[in-house]
Structure 1
Amino acid sequence: MNHDTSSEQYILVTGSGQVLAVSDTAQSLIPHISPLLPDLINGAGEDTVLLNGRTYQIHRHLLKSESGESYGLLISLQQTSAVQSSDPRLGAIALALSDKLEINHVLENVVRFAMDLLNADAGALPIYDPDTDRLLPGHLVNLPVDLIVPVIGQRRGLMWQIVHQGSSILIADYADHPAALPELVQVGVRSLLATPIIYGKTPLGILAMYRLRNEPFSESDRELLQAIARQTAIALQNARLYQRAIRNADERFALYQASIEIGATLDLEQLYQVIYRATTRLVSHQRFVIAIPTENRMVEYVHIVTPTGRQAPQQVPLHCGLAGYVLRFGVSLRLSGAQALPEPAVQLLPEIEGELADGSLLAAPLIVGDRIIGALLVWSNHHDAYTMADLNALELLAATVAVALHNAFRFAQIQSQAITDNLTGLANRRHFLQVLHQEMERNRRYHTPVSIAMIDVDHFKQINDTFGHIAGDYVLREIARRCRQQLRDVDVLARYGGEEFGLILPETTYEQALKATERLRTVLATTPIMIDGRQINPTISIGVASFHPTVYPDPSSLIADADRALYLAKQQGRNRVCGVQELTNDAQP
């Protein structure tokens, strides 16, 4: 295709990037510009791009209907003048760079081309990162790979001077310069020529050439390097637009996939796992936390993943930890190093959240309506590991996570209400029977022991008659609390009805069940309950039975025998434990 430098090419696209029409003169540019379309569509003002070895100015024209509704965007590409140098090899550089959309390829090609053109012995192209305000090593040729480390903090030295002033430098006798780096002098650098790489008003990096022989660079070399830097700026911007487009596409897919997975479960434990996997696909991290606030002003770390693996949930006061800070103020955080901690001061929790001195943090609150229901936090072991793009991605994920967690919390609450006794907070009779049926089936399959106990409060009617029903309710709650403290997490204590409780003891033999229930009876009998300054000494009677499949065909038959043992305890004077073996040898397991 024959390009006229004054001609314009046109591409008509929708706001989503769908190409509607292309002028004949622009047909050959479509393969080169397609990867850049998302950023060109969303850009502002004018852009310059390098396509197929030629430089084009980009103009945008928003097309609207008579009603004012936008229906398309007309992108025009006007070719500018060719390379501003008499050296024909610059055209080869422009052509080679226009085909490179990977930043590493651009850096390597630029440094080697510049070294060839300027007869340099070594070269470097440090990259300026505006997100972290630092210079990164970029690409080095004929220099030790560990010579140039990221430059952070105060803007000192020749490289920062170039970035700050936006002008090139030429040092004929580098070793005698007061700002010379001893490491470069040590490897034999005699002359330095460096120029900034600037796109518009934005610094992108520095192109530096070194000679190790006693032959300094000239002013004509400076002009040539500046011409190379202009082409490099366009190529780097192209590569950044392309990388941003790829990242945006990857993020959109990851968020779409996460929304499907997150919305597919209401089980909290499964949901925590899905959130962890979705976060891992979006941002790299070595430490991960989901934290939620509790009603008693605590932070519950419900899902903790550290370099050593999944950790047990923990609770800490709300004023502690970075998660607590996010939950209190509802703000997102992007931190690097302990010196960047937010105000007011935060009491760190290194055992949960790790050390921040040499690492980085991203945090986003989980908000539904005007309520902060949780926080999502990730840590990296590396300094300045996260950009604003990473934080934006985490915030987008947090919006989906917040709704899913809110729904899961409500579902869990409804489920809990369906199986919980309102007065004592214990399992209700329905749940007790469900769990007992499951344990009996487990015994049939795996032959694991399971025992039950039926518990009744002695002379409870007298407590109600003497102290009133409100006091009676308090006594039931206190008995439930004290019994719960003496039991294992796997044991199921339920309010079976009135003042009667049922207890399921998985993995427990008959003899072990007698000992466990005797411990409950003793604790209740020796610890009085105080109500309005008056002492109540309630006691309990307990009947114990152990399941055997040949004796008990269903839960009701096992419960009936435990009830018979309970009745025997009542007959023998109350405040005692009796087992089914005291009734009849037929029930022995």
Structure 2
Amino acid sequence: MTPQQGMQKIAILYDASQAVLSTFQLDEVLNQILAIVRDYFHLEGASVLLFDKDRTVLRVRLSFGKQPSSMEVPLGKGLTGAAVHQKRPIYSPDVTKDKRYICAVESTRSELAIPLMVRDEVVGVLDCQSDQVDFFDTETEDLLTLFATQASIGISNAKIYSLEQKRALQMSAIGAIASKATASLKLEELLVQLCMAIATNLALDGISVLTCEPDGTLILRAQEGSLKPVIETSQALLPEGNPAERALSRKKPVVLHPDLDSRPVLYEGAGSELMLPLVSAGKPLGMIVMGARSDTGFPEEDMQTLVSVADICATAIQNAFYFQQVEALAYVDGLTGVYNRRFFERKITEELERAARYEGTLSVIMVDIDNFKKVNDEFGHLLGDEVLRTVAQIFAGALRKPDHCCRYGGEEFSIILPETSGPKALKVAEKLRGLIADYDFPGIPRRITISAGVADFPTCGTTRDDIVGAADNCLYLAKQSGRNCVMSPYNMNTPKLFT
């Protein structure tokens, strides 16, 4: 080595160390690396490929000249893959005669791939190419290899700095999500708030929460983001061969790349999807499915943060489930299993407000079991209780899902029929009356019958007292008319009687 070459070597190493250690921003470090390669070595093209541990590929992060700006190289493939595999520089003086060469630029004739390593761990490859055959002599290769050592340290420092910055942001995001997790105990409201908080704080393209049904079916409950699920809210995720089932059964996260792993789980157009099981006390509650347009959306380094988010959500959802159960007990009649008077008072107010807001209809049926005191007196209270349970079961089985059957008190029941006009409610009441009259109650040798009164919004009034009062008046008339019948403004000669 001549003195001039020695001075050049020292100058390059000094400039390299100054450049790559002067900043902790990864893109700036890479720009400095390629600027030195271009200015000192006069190459037609070069690129820095970083090692993606999750995908076990080399990915072009930055380049100049004719080099491709985006490219993936599997480990062991091409000269760059060989450099990583063997952890040493790989030089091909004439790529036209080298079977390992992956052609990215037609004019390339020689290529030098130098692994970027820190403490024997490969972080990437510096790939240098020339349109001249055997361009890289031994001195040039040595200088580039020494420079690559400095570059590796700069890249490693920038990655550590970037990771620490990301972790600080992630901790802040976890705090924001945790605050939303305690903001509500109402399940549907909670799930919507969690989706919004996660999408905002983690900058996701798509986030969905699915809950487990008793049979294990996953139902989409809430979603947020620009990526839209392939199913609608309240629909089930098809289980056949779905990776979500695997994640849920193993209770471990699963990352999916739809472009490589067949069909997507939930998002069309996603480059990557992450399935995070929601588990509380060992019991699966559901699943968070996150979507990213990028195929590197969920790196291993972020997994602990994302699992922590799932744990926070699982705890919040479990609390909401407990609240639902307690609330259900408070609104269910202990004897008959249908809703109680407390639920009726809450629901009638809600449904009247909704009917008024959307200019809809609402009907109420008030029902009384005829001569129920005689049933208790003649056959005992145990059989009387059984009659109440059976009547409640018949009502519940004959009504629609949106309808609400409540035990109003004693032998009296109240039924709320949302989006149902008075004439339709009259038909429902007649159907219920017929079902009871035709039923053979075990242990009771005579017929059990009911009387019913029907009133509707807005014909019979606009307030709770208007509607319930009108239905009660109709029930009174039904009893006065001989029982086992239904009365409403629509089957009497005075339809305005209760307005």
TM-score range, shorter chain: 0.7 to 0.9
User: Structure 2 residue aligned with 1:97, among 8, 20, 40?
Assistant: 20
Asked if the contact 2:114/2:125 (under 8 Å) is kept, the reply is: yes
For the residues of structure 1 that align with 2:268 and 2:360, how far apart are their CA atoms? 45
Asked if the contact 1:85/1:227 (under 8 Å) is kept, the reply is: no
User: Structure 1 residue aligned with 2:47, among 121, 124, 133?
Assistant: 124
Partner of 2:3: none
Partner of 1:514: 426
For the residue of structure 1 that corresponds to 2:425, the secondary structure is: helix
Matched, 1:353 2:266: yes
Asked if the contact 2:406/2:413 (under 8 Å) is kept, the reply is: yes
Which whole-Å deviations, capped at 9, do the CAs of 1:133-164 have from their partners, x for residues lacking one?
Answer: 11001111112536x52124x63221111001
Asked if the contact 2:405/2:416 (under 8 Å) is kept, the reply is: yes
Residue 384 of structure 1: how far off its partner (Å): 4.6
Structure having the larger proportion of residues in strand: 1
Residue 221 of structure 1: how far off its partner (Å): 0.5
Matched, 1:288 2:207: yes
For the residues of structure 2 that align with 1:387 and 1:446, how far apart are their CA atoms? 47
Matches within 5 A, 1:318-333: 321-333=242-254
Partner of 2:30: 107
For the residues of structure 1 that align with 2:84 and 2:302, how far apart are their CA atoms? 25
Which whole-Å deviations, capped at 9, do the CAs of 1:27-54 have from their partners, x for residues lacking one?
Answer: xxxxxxxxxxxxxxxxxxxxxxxxxxxx
What one-letter code is carried by the residue in structure 1 that aligns with 2:453? G
Change (3 A) 1:170 1:576: same
User: Structure 1 residue aligned with 2:112, among 182, 190, 193?
Assistant: 193
Partner of 1:481: 396
For the residues of structure 1 that align with 2:108 and 2:398, how far apart are their CA atoms? 80
Asked if the contact 2:83/2:115 (under 8 Å) is kept, the reply is: yes
Change (3 A) 1:531 1:363: farther
Asked if the contact 1:541/1:569 (under 8 Å) is kept, the reply is: yes
For the residue of structure 2 that corresponds to 1:266, the secondary structure is: coil
User: Structure 1 residue aligned with 2:167, among 233, 240, 248?
Assistant: 248
For the residues of structure 1 that align with 2:7 and 2:449, how far apart are their CA atoms? 99
Residue 290 of structure 1: how far off its partner (Å): 2.2
Partner of 1:562: 471
Change (3 A) 1:286 1:192: same
Change (3 A) 1:294 1:539: farther
Residue 119 of structure 1: how far off its partner (Å): 1.8
% of aligned pairs identical? 25
Asked if the contact 1:330/1:365 (under 8 Å) is kept, the reply is: yes
For the residue of structure 2 that corresponds to 1:128, the secondary structure is: strand
User: Structure 1 residue aligned with 2:367, among 441, 451, 455?
Assistant: 455
User: Structure 1 residue aligned with 2:324, among 404, 412, 421?
Assistant: 412
Unaligned runs of 5+ in 1: 1-82, 342-347
Which whole-Å deviations, capped at 9, do the CAs of 1:45-76 have from their partners, x for residues lacking one?
Answer: xxxxxxxxxxxxxxxxxxxxxxxxxxxxxxxx
Change (3 A) 1:576 1:315: farther
For the residues of structure 2 that align with 1:301 and 1:496, how far apart are their CA atoms? 35
User: Structure 2 residue aligned with 1:504, among 411, 416, 424?
Assistant: 416
Unaligned runs of 5+ in 2: 1-5
Residue 334 of structure 1: how far off its partner (Å): 3.1
Matches within 5 A, 1:224-239: 224-239=143-158
For the residues of structure 2 that align with 1:296 and 1:497, how far apart are their CA atoms? 35
Partner of 1:495: 407
Partner of 1:73: none
Q: What is the TM-score with the length of structure 1 in the denominator?
A: 0.72
Asked if the contact 1:304/1:311 (under 8 Å) is kept, the reply is: no
What one-letter code is carried by the residue in structure 1 that aligns with 2:228? T
For the residues of structure 2 that align with 1:122 and 1:459, how far apart are their CA atoms? 98
Partner of 1:578: 487
Which whole-Å deviations, capped at 9, do the CAs of 1:65-121 have from their partners, x for residues lacking one?
Answer: xxxxxxxxxxxxxxxxxx997341331222122122221222222122112222211
Matches within 5 A, 1:56-455: 86-145=9-68, 149-152=71-74, 155-184=76-105, 186=106, 188-214=107-133, 216-281=135-200, 283=202, 285-304=204-223, 307-308=227-228, 311-315=232-236, 321-336=242-257, 353-354=266-267, 359-438=271-350, 449-455=361-367
Asked if the contact 1:111/1:207 (under 8 Å) is kept, the reply is: no
Matched, 1:465 2:379: yes
Residue 219 of structure 1: how far off its partner (Å): 0.5
For the residue of structure 1 that corresponds to 2:9, the secondary structure is: coil
Residue 441 of structure 1: how far off its partner (Å): 6.1
Matches within 5 A, 1:8-27: none
For the residues of structure 1 that align with 2:282 and 2:344, how far apart are their CA atoms? 38
Residue 252 of structure 1: how far off its partner (Å): 0.7
For the residues of structure 2 that align with 1:316 and 1:478, how far apart are their CA atoms? 32
Asked if the contact 1:475/1:529 (under 8 Å) is kept, the reply is: no
Which whole-Å deviations, capped at 9, do the CAs of 1:490-545 have from their partners, x for residues lacking one?
Answer: x433221233221233454433432443454456667x57979x999865432112
What one-letter code is carried by the residue in structure 2 that aligns with 1:502? S
Asked if the contact 1:291/1:302 (under 8 Å) is kept, the reply is: yes
For the residues of structure 2 that align with 1:217 and 1:281, how far apart are their CA atoms? 50
For the residues of structure 1 that align with 2:358 and 2:78, how far apart are their CA atoms? 73
For the residues of structure 1 that align with 2:452 and 2:243, how far apart are their CA atoms? 49
For the residue of structure 2 that corresponds to 1:565, the secondary structure is: helix
Asked if the contact 2:368/2:413 (under 8 Å) is kept, the reply is: yes
For the residues of structure 2 that align with 1:182 and 1:145, how far apart are their CA atoms? 11
For the residue of structure 2 that corresponds to 1:468, the secondary structure is: helix
Residue 297 of structure 1: how far off its partner (Å): 4.6
For the residue of structure 2 that corresponds to 1:482, the secondary structure is: helix
For the residues of structure 2 that align with 1:383 and 1:371, how far apart are their CA atoms? 31
For the residue of structure 2 that corresponds to 1:216, the secondary structure is: coil
For the residues of structure 2 that align with 1:189 and 1:530, how far apart are their CA atoms? 93
| RMSD after superposition | 3.8
Asked if the contact 1:162/1:169 (under 8 Å) is kept, the reply is: yes
Change (3 A) 1:287 1:525: farther
Q: What is the TM-score with the length of structure 2 in the denominator?
A: 0.84
What one-letter code is carried by the residue in structure 2 that aligns with 1:353? L
What one-letter code is carried by the residue in structure 1 that aligns with 2:235? Q
For the residues of structure 1 that align with 2:161 and 2:347, how far apart are their CA atoms? 57
